[in-house]
A and B are shown apart, each in its own frame.
Chain A
Amino acid sequence: QQQVKQSPQSLIVQKGGIPIINCAYENTAFDYFPWYQQFPGKGPALLIAIRPDVSEKKEGRFTISFNKSAKQFSLHIMDSQPGDSATYFCAAGYSGNTPLVFGKGTRLSVIA
C-alpha cells in the first residue's frame, strides 16, 4: 500500500519560477519527512528534511512547509534554475534506524 502520495507526477516551470511539490501521508506516527533530489543514473541526494515540531524549514532556495493536522508537506524551490531539473521524491519515516517510505516522485523541468 502507498503510504505517501506525491503530486504532481511532472512539472514544468520557467526559470525563476517557484515549483511546488506536494505530499500527503497516512501514518500519524511518522516523525521524519525528507525530500530527495535524483538525477538520472544517480542515487537520491538529501535536500532538506523536517520533523513535525516545526511548520516550515528553509535551506537556501528550498523550503518545506509542513501541516501536521492535514498530514501534508510540500517542497518549494525558489528562483528555480535549469540545473534544478531532476526528479524529486518526498519520503516519510521514523526517527532511528528504520527505512523510509517514498512517494512516487515528481519530474521537474525548469526551462530557460
Chain B
Amino acid sequence: GAVVSQHPSRVICKSGTSVKIECRSLDFQATTMFWYRQFPKQSLMLMATSNEGSKATYEQGVEKDKFLINHASLTLSTLTVTSAHPEDSSFYICATVNTEAFFGQGTRLTVV
C-alpha cells in the first residue's frame, strides 16, 4: 500500500499562534490529498480536498481562511491552522488515494 508520512505527530501551541502540519506521499505522486479531522471517540470528518497546483476544495462549514492548505508538489500537502484556539484542538489526519485510500499517522494538536 501507499506510504503516507505526516509530521508532526503531536504539537502543543499557544492560542493565537499558527501551526503547520505536513503530509508527504512517499512512494507515489499524489495529485490529490485529503484532510480529515477527528474529535475524541468520533469518526473522521472530511475537511478539505487538496489539489496539486490549484486551490483546495473545502467542505461546508470549514473556514478556508483558518485552515490554509497548500499542495505545491506531487508529494507534499500542508495544512496550516491559523490563529489557533482551544476549540481547534483535535486529531488531524491526511490521506492519499492510489487505487485505495491510505492515511498518515495523524497529528494531535492541542491549543492551550
- A residues sitting closer than 8 Å to B (CB atoms) are 32, 34, 36, 41-46, 49, 89, 91, 93, 96-105, 107
- B residues sitting closer than 8 Å to A (CB atoms) are 1, 4, 6, 31-32, 34, 41-46, 49, 91, 93, 95, 97, 100-106, 108
* Docked pose: A102 CA to B44 CA in angstroms: 6
Chain A residue, CB-CB nearest to B45: A102
- 18 pairs of residues in contact across A and B, judged by CB atoms under 8 Å: A34-B101, A36-B103, A41-B106, A43-B93, A44-B44, A44-B103, A46-B1, A46-B100, A46-B101, A46-B103, A89-B43, A89-B44, A93-B101, A97-B32, A98-B97, A99-B46, A100-B95, A102-B45
Instruction: List chain B residues, Cβ under 8 A from A102.
Output: 43-45
Query: Taking chain B's interface residues, is the majority helix, strand, or loop, or is none over half, making it mixed?
Result: strand
Of the candidates A36, A91, A97, A99, which one forms a contact with B31 in the assembled complex, judged by CB atoms under 8 Å apart? A97
* Docked pose: A103 CA to B44 CA in angstroms: 8
Whole-angstrom distance between the Cβ of A60 and the nearest chain B Cβ: 15
Whole-angstrom distance between the Cβ of B16 and the nearest chain A Cβ: 26
* Docked pose: A107 CA to B43 CA in angstroms: 11
